[in-house]
Amino acid sequence: EVVLTQSPATLSLSPGERATLSCRASQNIYISLAWYQQTPGRAPRLLISDASNRATGVPARFSGSGSGTDFTLTINSLEPEDFAIYYCQQRGTFGQGTTVEVK
């Protein structure tokens, strides 16, 4: 079973800054990785599928990269609504999440 490790656990940034989130897989998962955003009281929202494909309606400031075991979600120029928890997922496994909070 694949284990996904996200880092850091918490990222403290200011609006306008760039966020770089990491997700490391315990084995080669090729590009089979999705990223989600979750805000309090709401369901997760798909941001990225297949490591780098932005989902419909997702702003261009969100980008995904990586393959194999190392993946990155980048948020360019944080907007107020981007402060949330971000999860990576590979098939039936989710990472533990990274919280992006206001510094």
Point out which span in 13-21, 66-74, 75-83, 90-98 binds other proteins (CB under 8 A): 90-98
| Torsion angles phi and psi, residue 84, rounded to 5 | -170, -175
DSSP string, 15-63: TTS-EEEEEEESS--TT--EEEEE-TTS--EEEEETTTEEPTT--TTEE
Point out which span in 13-21, 35-43, 59-67, 69-77 binds other proteins (CB under 8 A): 35-43
How many residues sit close enough to other proteins to count as binding (CB under 8 A)?
21
**Residue 54: exposure state from Cβ atoms within 10 A (0-12, 13-18, ≥19):** middle
Using CB under 8 A as the binding rule, whether residue 99 contacts other proteins is answered as no
Using CB under 8 A as the binding rule, whether residue 92 contacts other proteins is answered as yes
| Interacting residues toward other proteins by CB under 8 A | 32, 34, 36, 42-46, 49-50, 55-56, 87, 89-94, 96-97
